Amino acid sequence: MADTGLFNNVYNPDVLSCLANLSNDEVFTPPDVVNAMLDMLPQELFQNPDTTFLDPACKTGVFLREIAKRLIKGLEPQFPDLQERIDHIFHKQLFGIAITELTGFLSRRSVYCSKFPNTEFSVSLFDDEQGNIRFRRIKHTWRDGKCVYCGASQSQYDRSDDLETHAYEWIHTNKPEEIFNMKFDVIISNPPYQLNDGGAGASAKPIYNLFVEQAKKLNPRFLTMIIPSRWFAGGKGLDDFRRDMLTDRRIVRIVDYVNAKDCFSGISLGGGVCYFLWDRDNPGKCYYTNIHDGKESSSVRDLDEFDVFVRYNEAVSIIHKVASKNEKKVLSLLVLEILLACLHLSVVTARNNRLQ
């Protein structure tokens, strides 16, 4: 029988690219996006046996898995024996905190090939059933009906022991450095985005900013996270975060998707999504990339150049031309007009996302 080439043409996608998301607020990160984020880092990090990595919001384990792939290749000269190399990487370099018990199992399965890494099925044997990807059931600390750490509504999240509390360990402590009692060179994650705050309707409080702020407390060499772009405009609970981010010269790279579906297929997220690189030791201008309708525009910018963040690079050049003529009044009106146009575009994009 002639070879039809059937098995040479079978589509065999990465299983982590096919998983359904938990919700619009807890989004699984596609492996190609993870690798785009890892590409922003100095690649010599993956050739150093002392580099440590932390994902403080593990869902599928994809960040740690993709890092492990790079380390397994990069550390081959130092550890020619594959098992010795794997043991070193998984025990000494990769650490994670799962956001739920279920995602803890999923992450350990992705990284260790077993949800219990103290069994014979694990590619690297640990003494306990969680390895370096831990999950601790944390309770909210209530005060006046709200959690003092994350702002969650007591009426929504004060639950029995058989239900998830969504009290994420990373942001429910004043001392995140004590979770693993160690320093990390790289903190990388896609954190949960928001929690119901008990307000009218479907009111929710953003919490992704809390994950970023906690990460900065550990002062890693590099920090990269993928988060909603709504912080560009501030708003509910984000004004201080927006100001801090725009004035932080260590934000050296931002990739911004106006339509979140261009990054996360099947997700409708008003305002889009972005990922950034925070570089502790090399502050400077930010290399900002905006992606919209298949078009990509990049520019080196000071994020706090204007009183508000102008999302579209094309608009910045127009503002500069007007500013060069010292027309301050005209400049103010132009900035306002551009902001209104951008707001209109964001509303249209969000509406189209819902219709698709």
Q: What is the mean pLDDT of residues 41-47?
A: 98
Cα angle 193-202-172, degrees, rounded to a multiple of 5 = 40
Cα(182)–Cα(179) distance, integer angstroms: 8
The pTM (predicted TM-score) of the whole model is 0.86
Calpha distance 228→46 (Å, rounded): 28
Would you kindly state where each structural domain of the chain is located, as residue ranges?
21-136+169-303
- Pull the structure tokens for residue 169: 């360990």
Rounded to whole angstroms, the Cα distance separating 261 from 269 reads 8
CA dist., res. 318 & res. 338, Å (int): 10
- Which residues does residue 45 pair with via DSSP β-bridges, in sequence order? none
User: Is pLDDT above 60 for 333?
Assistant: no
Classify 341 as helix, strand or coil.
helix
What does the pLDDT read at residue 334?
53
Residue 64 pLDDT > 90: yes
Q: Is the pLDDT of residue 349 over 80?
A: no
Is 50 exceeded by the pLDDT of residue 10? no
DSSP letter assigned to residue 46: G
Pairing between β-strand 273-279 and β-strand 222-228 as defined by DSSP bridges: antiparallel
Give the strand pairing for 186-189 and 53-58: parallel
* 294 contacts: CB under 8 Å, gap ≥ 6: 262
For the stretch 179-231, pLDDT in tens is: 999 999 999 999 999 887 666 555 678 999 999 999 999 999 999 999 999 99
Buried b (16+ CB within 10 A) or exposed e, 273-287: bbbbbbbeeeeeebb
Q: Residue 355, Cα to own-chain centre: how many angstroms?
A: 26
d(C-alpha 254, C-alpha 230), whole Å: 14
**Token code pair at residue 221:** 């060499």
**How much is the average pLDDT of 220-244?**
92
Residues found in the chain: 356
Q: Which backbone phi and psi does 134 adopt, to 5 degrees?
A: -100, 155
According to the model, what pLDDT value does residue 50 have?
A: 98
pLDDT for 2: 47
Closest CA relative to residue 280, chosen from 207, 190, 215, 229: 215
CA distance 277 to 331: 31
Q: Is the dihedral of CA 14, 16, 132, 177 positive or negative?
A: positive
Q: What is the CATH class of 21-136+169-303?
A: alpha beta
pLDDT tens by residue, 272-320: 999 999 999 999 999 999 999 889 999 999 999 887 788 888 888 777 7
Per-residue pLDDT at 293: 86
Residues in contact with 65: Cβ distance below 8 Å, sequence separation at least 6, in sequence order: 16, 110, 111
How confident is the model over 76-96, as pLDDT tens digits?
999 999 999 999 999 999 999
